[in-house]
Amino acid sequence: MSVEALPATAAAASEETREYHFRSNRGARMRGYLGLVLIVIWGLAPFYWMVVTAFRQVGYTFDTTPWPSHVTLDNFRTALSTDLGNHLGRALVNSLVIGVFTTALAMVVGVFAAYGLSRLDFPGKYAVLGVILGASMFPGVALVSPLFQLFSSLGWLNGWNYQALIIPNISFALPLTVYTLTAFFSEMPWELEESARMDGCTPAQAFRRIMLPLAAPGLFTTAILAFISSWNEYLLSQQFSTNKTTPVTVAIANFTGAQPHQEPYTAVMAAGTIVTVPLIIMVLLFQRAIVSGLTAGGVKG
């Protein structure tokens, strides 16, 4: 082998190696995309079927055509109509009221608790986090009977008593809020707060003017998660809601059809579609904040 031939051979080998890596990378990338497509199909298939059934005529409820067929808007009219005793519109307002109050209260309490847990160093700090985790593990169904007795004796199970739904919801939203925000706050650079203190801020001012604005993505994410958990809550709402405070989950479960003992599947699917829309809009609006907030707590600083 001549001396001139060596670089050419090396270049050819390098080209082959690059081509091999490119192919194997492309194969891995294709497999990755295929996996992602499967996950998306798996996740969206029930939602897609709900939407397709929502737009289908009642006579074709159990039609298995995988794309929209016999399209009609009657199911949405039925879902929003009050002729059959269904009050989806009022239930949407009720769910919104319950969700907003639950989220606001859980956030107010959770922000301070999480800030203290991540900032202060005291003995048993992780035991407190363990207690919070334990509280979130507590089965909701175990709370139904005692809370029913308590709220019944307080006279909260009639009229416009939203607190009978908001207070139990907070007990589930608060551990989620504290846990998520603790992880988020612990990743924040404390030098910023110390700089603010050096510049003359009180601890409260440093928290309000420096740390809170920086924690906005995490706060948004946590608030949305708390709102979604409250919006989707069914078990306790089924027991503690009244005719006036019924949230959407209970309202849809109680949907009645035109005939006795007839389950109005298409109207239920239409109501489900209507109920999902506010969540989708909210997630799309705050998409960037949600993604940055979700990743911020898990990235090593």
Partner 1 sequence: MRLFNPGGGTGTHPRARAQRLEMLMGILGFFAVMALVQTVILELRGDPAGFSAAVLAVLLLLLGLVVRARRNVRL
Contact footprint for partner 1 (CB under 8 A): 118, 124-135, 137-138, 179, 182-183, 186, 297-300
DSSP string of 149-218, one letter each residue: HHHHHHT-SSSS-THHHHHHHHHHHHHHHHHHHHHHHHTS-HHHHHHHHHTT--HHHIIIIIIHHHTHHH
Shortest approach of partner 1 to residue 52 CB, angstroms?
37
In angstroms, what is the minimal distance from the CB of 129 to partner 1?
Answer: 6
> Nearest distance from residue 133's CB to partner 1, in Å?
6
Question: Rounded to the nearest whole angstrom, what is the least distance from the CB of residue 285 to partner 1 in the complex?
Answer: 25
Of 161 and 182, CB closest to partner 1: 182
Nearer to partner 1, 127 or 204 (CB): 127
CA distance linking residue 220 with residue 177, whole number of Å: 11
Cα separation values, 169 from 59, 89, 222, 238, 272, Å? 39, 21, 15, 12, 21
Q: What is the C-alpha to C-alpha distance for residues 210 and 206, in angstroms, rounded to an integer?
A: 5
For 4, 166, 256, the CA distances from 84, given in Å and listed in that order, are 90, 28, 7
Nearer to partner 1, 79 or 132 (CB): 132
CB of 136 to partner 1, least distance (A): 10
The pair of structure tokens assigned to 69 is 């067929």
Q: Which is nearer to partner 1, 79 or 181 (CB)?
A: 181
Q: What is the closest distance, in whole angstroms, from the C-beta atom of residue 299 to partner 1 in the complex?
A: 8
Do 230 and 103 touch, CB atoms closer than 8 A?
yes
Nearer to partner 1, 2 or 153 (CB): 153
H or E segment and range at residue 82: none
Taking the least distance from each CB to partner 1, the nearer of 22 and 126 is: 126
Calculate Rg over the CA atoms of the chain.
27
